[in-house]
């Protein structure tokens, strides 16, 4: 199946500043693609180009087979966007905002009423629907913004930092609703600078930095791509013999072994979930007693650091 | 054929939603709406009454009330340009541009919405004017109302066009002040054409081709204030208003499309 979104050298320059630099990206139908990167990485500019709000300086993008330059009207028919900053006029009420959005996106009266109520209730916003936007908290405004897309159920949903400023319970609700949206057939682009959000929601994650897409794959493969990124710490009941250390070194996945304490070995390896059972069976065969084993795999922060040389926090500071 | 009709219906519906949004939005600025109504009534009750005693023009009070209605319609229709800046400031512009509506639907809808809301707003005020003036010929008045409709759309189209071209709310604010002074003062909204010509023939020439003059005089003609009309055939100002409406609506669409598409408004 051809990708539902494909960008070809998509570039946006604002004067001398290149916000997005020759971006080549493919999004498959029905997936959640996380765009992970610090502020200023080019995620929002990419989104605005895909949504035909701004025109690329160079290159183009195909959304649902339509060129964003040549058929912007057709592209917009397929999209629903929840922006990073809630786009609301302060005199409007939440109800006005979502109800009008549903109307203009072509929902029938009955469907509109049902979905507006359903989504506002699910987001705990029903009781506040007649309050003007200026009386709502930042988190509530953000909920109204995401509600627009959840009500619309577009073919392609673009959500830019959907849970920023939202409490943890609200975050989980929104994540669940986004997953449900995907199950109903919507392809989702999730732009975020929250590692956990990208990890738990995305089928694939694209890491952006300074306008470039550095890498794009499943979270697991990205983590596995860090050679020796997984760590296993084995505490033996007595000092491990050199023969045991040698045998462990023979595993293809093991990159490095450090003896941290007299009876503890730290193994830097790949694909921890596959290799640990093999290690355990070797140790059992050799009759070596193990008192504890601790595993950890790299986070997306490690992946980001691996590809950029910076932690996400450092990159955030750099991007302002 | 059926599909085409369905598509057209969908297009019209979207256009109407854009219109609806602007109309609803206007009346959410309750303080502004109330203040302008107070201003209108004060102008009639104080300025109109007092000034008519010192002006030698026959029936000047009724003349002034007619002109004031058009000035209020003009300033209410201009308001849409300020909305555009407000929306740009709150990022709502980006939202509107991402919606499944064409740029044409958006600018036409906004132009109509801006005009319609001004018309709805001025409606009760016009009723006050009519109470003061009285209607002589209802048919004439209906034609005059229709031309005021077009005038309001034209003014809101002009406001949108200038707002997207200027891109700075401060400059727009200043320009609107200057434009108000030029368009309204160099028209027959407040004084008959003969006096304008007498003051300066160039002023008279400008006032003669001014859409505010067309609207003010058509309104007076419709309301039966026959004294000091600047035309003999009402068709001429009517055509002038149609041209004004068409020019700014279509120019608005073209400029909006060119300026807005691609983020040029930023």
pLDDT tens-digit readout, B56-96: 777 788 888 888 889 989 988 888 888 888 888 878 888 99
Query: What is the Cα–Cα distance from A124 to A119, expressed in whole angstroms?
Result: 9
Task: Give the pLDDT confidence score for residue B265 in this predicted structure.
Answer: 54
The pLDDT of residue A55 is above 60: yes
CA distance B3 to chain A (A): 16
Pick the range with the lowest mean pLDDT from A298-307, B11-20, B212-221. A298-307
**Residue labelled with tokens 């598409």:** B261
Least confident of A34-48, A147-161, A163-177, B155-169: B155-169
Q: Mark yes or no for CB contact B28/A92 under 8 Å.
A: yes
The highest-confidence range among A103-117, A225-239, B117-131, B207-221, by mean pLDDT, is A103-117
CB-nearest to B102 from A55, A73, A100 is A73
CATH of A5-223, one of 3.50.50.60, 3.30.300.210, 3.40.50.300, 2.60.40.1930: 3.40.50.300
What global pTM score does this model have?
0.80
Average pLDDT rounded to a whole number, residues A166-179: 93
* Spatial separation of the C-alpha atoms in residues B165 and B170, rounded to whole Å: 13
Tell me how crowded residue B42 is: count the other CB atoms within 10 A of its CB. Answer: 11
pLDDT tens profile A34-49 = 999 888 899 999 999 9
Residues of A with CB under 8 A from a CB of B: 48, 51-55, 72-73, 76-77, 79, 81, 83, 85, 87-92, 96, 100-101, 103-106, 132
Q: For the domain with range A227-296, which CATH number is right: 3.40.50.300, 3.30.70.100, 3.30.1370.140, 3.20.20.70?
A: 3.30.70.100
Q: Quick check: B91 and A85 CB within 8 A? A: yes
d(CA B119, CA B151): 10
Handedness of CA B222, B224, B230, B234 (dihedral sign): positive
Q: Identify the band that residue A99 occupies on the pLDDT scale cut at 50, 70 and 90.
A: very high
Angle at A230 between CA A228 and CA A233, to 5 degrees: 110
Query: B9 to chain A: nearest residue by CA?
Result: A106
Q: Nearest residue of B to residue A104 by CA position?
A: B14
Asked whether residue A29 carries a pLDDT value surpassing 90, the answer given is yes
In this prediction, residue A224 has a pLDDT band, given cuts at 50, 70 and 90, of confident
Question: Which residues does chain B have within 8 Å of residue A81's beta carbon, measured at their own beta carbons?
Answer: 95, 98
Q: In the prediction, which pLDDT does B262 show?
A: 55
Calculate the dihedral angle through the C-alpha atoms of B88, B94, B97, B98, rounding to the nearest 10 degrees: -160
Among candidate residues B212, B158, B155, the one with its CA nearest the CA of residue B184 = B212
| Residues of chain A neighbouring B25 (CB-CB closer than 8 A) | 89, 91-92
- For chains A and B, count residue pairs whose Cβ atoms are closer than 8 Å: 69
Instruction: List the domain boundaries for chain A.
Output: 5-223, 227-296
Residue B234 has a pLDDT of 78
pLDDT of B100-144, one tens digit each? 998 888 888 888 898 898 888 888 877 777 777 666 677 777 877
Stretch A134-163: mean pLDDT, rounded? 93
Instruction: State the nearest Cα–Cα gap between A224 and chain B, in angstroms.
Output: 37
CB contact under 8 A, B262 and A73: no
| Mean pLDDT for chain B overall | 83
- Beta-carbon separation of B17 and A55 below 8 A: no
Average pLDDT across chain A, whole number: 89
Partner-chain contact B18 A53, CB within 8 Å: no
Residue partners of B229: CB distance under 8 A and separation at least 6: B217, B220, B221
pLDDT band, very low/low/confident/very high, at B1 (cuts 50, 70, 90)? low
Report the distance separating Cα A145 and Cα A84, nearest Å.
9
% of chain A exceeding 90 in pLDDT = 54
Tell me the nearest-neighbour CA distance from A133 into chain B, angstroms.
12
- Is the pLDDT at A309 greater than 80? The verdict is no
Residues B119 and B175: their CA atoms lie apart, in Å, by 23
Compare CB distances from A55 to B91, B95, B263 and report the shortest one's residue: B263
Partners of residue A54 in chain B, C-beta under 8 Å: 262-263, 266
pLDDT given at position A95: 92
A254-268 mean pLDDT = 84
Contacts of B256 (CB under 8 A, 6+ apart): B103, B106, B107, B160, B161, B164
Ranked by mean pLDDT, the top range of A182-191, B19-28, B56-65 is A182-191
CB A253 within 8 A of CB A275: yes
Per residue in A199-219, pLDDT (tens digit) is 899 999 999 999 999 999 998
């Amino acid at each position: 199946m051809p990708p539902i979104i494909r960008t070809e050298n998509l570039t946006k320059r604002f004067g001398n500043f290149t916000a997005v630099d020759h971006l080549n990206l493919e999004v498959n139908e029905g997936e959640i693609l996380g765009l992970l990167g610090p502020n200023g990485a080019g995620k929002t500019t990419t989104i605005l180009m895909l949504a035909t709000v701004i025109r690329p300086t160079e290159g183009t993008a195909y959304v649902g087979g339509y060129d964003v330059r040549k058929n912007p009207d057709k592209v917009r028919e397929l999209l629903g966007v929840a922006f990073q900053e809630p786009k609301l006029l302060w005199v409007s009420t939440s109800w006005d905002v979502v109800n009008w959005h549903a109307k203009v996106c072509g929902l029938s009266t009955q469907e509109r009423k049902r979905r507006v109520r359903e989504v506002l209730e699910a987001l705990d916003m029903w009781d506040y629907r007649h309050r003007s936007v200026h009386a709502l908290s930042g988190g509530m405004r953000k909920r109204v913004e995401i509600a627009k897309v959840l009500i619309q159920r577009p073919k392609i949903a673009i959500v830019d930092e959907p849970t920023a400023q939202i409490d943890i319970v609200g975050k989980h609700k929104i994540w669940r609703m986004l997953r449900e949206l995907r199950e109903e057939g919507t392809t989702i682009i999730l732009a975020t600078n929250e590692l956990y959000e990208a990890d738990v929601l995305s089928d694939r994650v694209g890491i952006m930095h300074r306008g470039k897409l550095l890498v794009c794959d499943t979270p697991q493969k990205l983590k596995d791509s860090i050679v020796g990124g997984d760590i296993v710490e084995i505490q033996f009941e007595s000092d491990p013999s050199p023969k045991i250390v040698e045998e462990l070194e023979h595993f293809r996945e093991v990159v490095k072994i450090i003896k941290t304490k007299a009876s503890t070995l730290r193994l830097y390896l790949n694909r921890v979930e596959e290799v640990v059972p093999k290690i355990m069976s070797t140790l059992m065969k050799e009759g070596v007693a193990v008192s504890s084993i601790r595993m950890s795999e790299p986070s997306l922060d490690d992946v980001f650091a691996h590809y950029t040389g910076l932690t996400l926090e450092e990159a955030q500071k750099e991007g302002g | 054929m059926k599909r085409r009709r369905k598509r057209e219906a969908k297009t019209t519906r979207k256009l109407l939603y854009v219109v609806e949004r602007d109309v609803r939005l206007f009346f959410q600025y309750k303080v502004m709406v109330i203040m302008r109504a107070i201003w209108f009534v004060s102008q009639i009750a104080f300025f109109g009454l007092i000034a008519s005693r010192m002006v030698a023009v026959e029936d000047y009070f009724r003349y002034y009330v007619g002109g004031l209605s058009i000035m209020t319609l003009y300033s209410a229709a201009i308001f849409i340009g300020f909305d555009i800046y407000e929306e740009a400031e709150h990022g709502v512009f980006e939202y509107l541009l991402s919606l499944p509506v064409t740029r044409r639907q958006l600018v036409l809808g906004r132009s109509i919405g801006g005009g319609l809301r001004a018309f709805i707003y001025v409606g009760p005020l016009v009723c006050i004017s009519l109470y003061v003036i009285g209607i002589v010929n209802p048919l004439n008045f209906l034609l005059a109302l229709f031309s005021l409709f077009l005038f309001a759309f034209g003014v809101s189209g002009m406001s949108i066009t200038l707002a997207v071209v200027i891109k700075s709310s401060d400059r727009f604010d200043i320009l609107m002040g200057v434009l108000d002074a030029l368009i309204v003062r160099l028209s027959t909204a407040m004084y008959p054409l003969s006096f304008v010509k007498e003051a300066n023939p160039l002023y008279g020439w400008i006032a003669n081709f001014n859409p505010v003059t067309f609207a003010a005089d058509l309104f007076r003609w419709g309301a039966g204030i026959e004294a000091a009309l600047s035309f003999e055939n009402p068709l001429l100002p009517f055509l002038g208003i149609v041209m004004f409406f068409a020019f700014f609506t279509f120019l608005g669409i073209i400029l909006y499309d060119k300026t807005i598409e691609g983020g040029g408004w930023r």
